[in-house]
Amino acid sequence: MTDAPALETVGLGKRWRSARGDVDAVVDVTLTVPRGAFVVVTGPSGGGKTTLLSLLVALERPTSGRVRVDGADLAAASEAERSRVRRRVGFAFQGAPQVRRLPVWENVTLALVPTGVGAAARRARALEVLGRVGLAALVDERPERLSGGELQRVALARALVTAPPVLVADEPTSNLDRASAAAVLGVLREEHARGTTVLVATHDLALLALATATYAMEAGRLRATGASPDGAAR
Amino acid sequence: MTAARPAAARWLALGRSGAGAVLLHPLRSVVTVACVVAVLLPWLAGLAIAHGLRDQARDAVRFGPDLLVEGERLGRPAPVPLEAVATIRALPGVTDVVPRVVGEIRLGRDDVSAVLLGVPLDRLPAGTTLVRGRLPAPGASHELVVGAALARRLALDVGAKLPPFYRNDAGERVSTVVGVFASDLPVWSGHLVLTSIETASTVFAQRGLASSLGVTVPRAAREDVRRAIARLPALGPDDGHGPVRARVLSREDAGALLPAQVLQREGVFTLHWLLAFAVGLPLVLVTSGAGLAERRRETALLKAVGWGTDDVLLRALAESLLLAVGAAALAVLLAAAWLGPLRAAGLGAVYLPGVEPDAVVDVPWRLAPVPVLLATGIAVVLVTVGSLLSTWRAASTPPAEVLR
């Protein structure tokens, strides 16, 4: 482990090209997320939160600026290095995409396949993380038979399956009823308590209570809105 | 060792995942296998027939006469006077000489082409098994034994009368079918009509003549006898048109000629197949993209959770190999079924001129290991090229772009 921050961006920018012209989804974002922090990013829909998270977990390449994960510079990284970074960062997607015909346990443990973990061990691990999000009973179910809220929790379980040092979640409590949202909050709290660095983009104000630092994102720009003991946004 | 074990485990896990992917995309799998089978099946079946014919031709040569003597007058083919039988039989080393008269006849309202073979009655081809009736009686004229395929085609049975099917100066006569033989002879004898050499000589107006002579001679004396026959000044008395000289074909010469004809047909068939392959390749490329949107999304998800491009490609390779080997195996099984129980229905007539689509001849075939292995290799190339290309393109797209 290095002393580098878990996540760090410098002058980060992402521009989308579309028929209606260029759109700056992320503009000059400089952010430092120290290890063990719980960072919450809020803001209106279309403000650039999801794009920022995609850049942080190496799903997109920035148009400008730099991203560092555990000290590794993603801008200069090869595709193989970016894949390695994605293995170290658990990401719960908004919309919770799944492989339709695979049972829940296989969807949850997809990240473990290239590491050579056998099917029995993967299923056992899936049961463990699904239990944490309250879905152990659905381990053999097909995703198409799950509700939106259940899929959202499956996505969180998938993000947790490799026990990553950094957990990034995009709207983890959207589509959830109060009880399920509380379960997800509990899991995030537990992860943070274990020392996992957590970064969440959300509209759910309940998550603010867990945050060590809060930010607001609007029109692609990020600004600090709450306590930031170790990190700062400019 | 410790590094090798995780690598092997990774390969195994990715291989299993690829095998599972065959069932994840059933439509794509079925369409891909169907396309590969459609390309391979006719080619495999055609080559199997070519190999079967080649085997049969070799057998025919192996069990045929040691030397075949034909006549030649002024550089042109000519019938052999029957006096040559005694002349050649008298040569040192010669064990036996069998004259035969062969020619094409046309029978029935549809002018069905058949081959009339006249030989001494005690020298009918080995393997002639009568299914009904009898062989032509000694001394009887115009008694015929027809092959089962021809009998079925012309609705002939024992006792049937055939109106004159030839014309010559000695007049024409009605012929009688006295027997039907099984068609388990070589395929080209499916339309064979057997008769006495005297009747055949009458039909072709070649009294006292034969089309060729089969000479049996021990291997050690073969070359000497061949030279002795070739040196004969004439095969019979001069009829005023010039002497008939001998043209001698050895078993080896015939062996070299017969397979060459079969190989030529095999080459033509392979050429046709290459054209099919040229069509099949883009077809498989297209079908391997079946359900592409879903596959792109799946690939993006795998990438997003940490799979490398090499992991994704290895999984696709395992899936493709399984599909390709499955398709090749299915093509081989279907080819065997087509050629065996289904008797090459529709294909035998295409491959063997003169064999009717409904012929009951057993088309000879042999699925040789080389075409089977080649078919498997081709299937692997077809499927993996299509699959890996589309997978690589999907894996190269930023995952967020696809999952958005």
Please determine, for residue B318, whether its predicted confidence score (pLDDT) is greater than 70.
yes
Determine phi and psi for B2, rounding to 5 degrees: -65, -35
B24, B305, B403 ranked by CB distance to A111: nearest: B305
B373 by Cβ neighbours in 10 Å (0-12 / 13-18 / 19+) ranks as exposed
Residue A181, in any domain of the structure: no
Residues in chain A: 234
Which of B24, B305, B309 to mutate to test binding with chain A, by most A CBs within 10 Å of its CB? B305
Q: Which of A57, A114, A158 sits opposite B311 (nearest CB)?
A: A114
Sheet with strand A197-201: strands edge to edge: A89-92, A166-170, A197-201, A38-42, A213-218, A221-224
The pLDDT confidence band at residue A67, using thresholds 50, 70 and 90, is very high
DSSP state of B79: P
- Nearest CB neighbour to B14, from listed A80, A93, A114: A114
Report, as an integer, the average pLDDT of B96-101. Answer: 91
- Highest average pLDDT, of B85-94, B109-118, B148-157, comes from B85-94
* pLDDT (0 to 100) of residue A55: 93
Considering CB atoms only, which of A84, A99, A119 is closest to B301?
Answer: A99
Asked if B307 and A60 come within 8 Å (Cβ–Cβ), the reply is no
pLDDT at B39 over 60: yes
Nearest to A5 by CA among A213, A226, A219: A213
In a domain, A204, yes or no: yes
| Interchain CB distance below 8 Å, A114 and B399 | no
- Whether B306 and A86 lie within 8 Å, measured CB to CB: yes
Band of the pLDDT at B328, cuts 50, 70, 90?
A: very high
Comparison of pLDDT for A211 and B2, the residue scoring more: A211
Buried b (16+ CB within 10 A) or exposed e, B149-170: bbbbbbebebebebeebeeeee
- DSSP single-letter state for residue B404: -
Residues A21 and A134 in one domain: no
What percent of chain B is predicted at pLDDT more than 70?
81
Residue A135 lies in a domain: yes
What average pLDDT score do residues B26-55 get?
84
**Contact (CB<8Å) B308/A114:** yes
Residue range(s) defining the domain that contains residue A137: 93-163
Buried b (16+ CB within 10 A) or exposed e, B171-194: eeeebbbbbbbbbebbbbbbbbbb
Domain match, A211 and A233 both: yes
Residues A8 and A78 in one domain: yes
Contact B307 A118 (CB under 8 A): no
Q: What pLDDT, in 10s, does the model give residues B237-280?
A: 877 788 899 999 887 777 676 656 566 666 666 666 666 666 66
Tokens for B18? 């690829």
Whether residues A118 and A146 fall in one domain: yes
**A182 domain-assigned:** no
Asked whether residue A195 falls in the same domain as residue A206, the answer is yes
Higher pLDDT: B165 or A190? It is: A190
- Put simply, the answer to whether A102 touches B24 (Cβ < 8 Å) is yes
Query: What confidence tier does B351 reach under pLDDT thresholds 50, 70, 90?
Result: low
Where do the DSSP E strands lie in A50-99? 64-69, 72-73, 89-92
Residue A81 lies in a domain: yes
The more confident residue out of A116 and A234 is: A116
Whole-number pLDDT of residue B206: 84
Please state the domain count of chain A.
Answer: 2
Q: Which residues of B touch A119 (CB under 8 A)?
A: 16
Residue A203 has pLDDT above 90, yes or no: no
Kindly state whether residues A20 and A39 are assigned to the same domain: yes
Residues A52 and A1 in one domain: yes
Task: Give pLDDT, residue B277.
Answer: 67
Do A148 and A168 sit in the same domain of this protein? no
The answer, yes or no, to whether residue A229 has pLDDT greater than 50, is no
| pLDDT winner (highest mean) among A77-91, B124-138, B358-372 | A77-91
- For residues A80 and A168, membership in a common domain is answered with yes
Most confident residue range from A33-47, B161-175, B223-237:
A33-47
Q: Which two tokens stand for residue A108?
A: 């949850």
B-chain CB neighbours of A117 within 8 Å are 9, 13
Percent of chain A at pLDDT exceeding 70: 96
* Region B142-154 average pLDDT: 84
Asked if residue A180 is part of any domain, the answer here is: no
How far from B213 is each of A187, B65, B115, B230, B277, CA to CA, in Å? 98, 9, 17, 13, 46
Q: Comparing B23 with A198, which gets the higher pLDDT?
A: A198
Q: Which two tokens stand for residue B77?
A: 């083919």
Higher-confidence residue of B42 and A31: namely: A31
Domain membership flag for residue A126: yes
Listed residues A108, A128, A163: the one ending a domain: A163
> Chains A, B: CB contacts under 8 A, how many?
85
Q: Give yes or no: residues A158 and A169 share one domain.
A: no
Residue range B45-55: mean pLDDT, rounded:
81
Mean of pLDDT values over A100-126: 93
- Given pLDDT bands bounded at 50, 70 and 90, which one contains residue A231? very low
Average pLDDT, chain A: 89
Residues A55 and A112 in one domain: no
Q: Name which of B183, B213, B199, B136 is nearest B359 in CA terms.
A: B183
Whether residue A109 sits in one domain with residue A24? no
Contact B13, A118 (CB under 8 A): yes
Residue A185 lies in a domain: no
% pLDDT > 90, chain B? 20
Nearest CA in chain B to A84: B306
The A-side interface with B (CB below 8 A) comprises 51, 54, 57, 59-61, 79-80, 83-84, 86-87, 91, 93, 95, 97-102, 110-111, 113-119, 158, 162
Q: In chain A, which residues have their Cβ closer than 8 Å to the Cβ of B302?
A: 110
Winning range, highest mean pLDDT, from A188-192, B41-45, B205-209, B355-359: A188-192
Q: How far is A171 from chain B (nearest CA, A)?
A: 14
Q: Which residues from A are below 8 Å from B303, CB to CB? A: 83, 86
- Quote the CA–CA distance of B33 and A185 in Å, as a whole number: 48
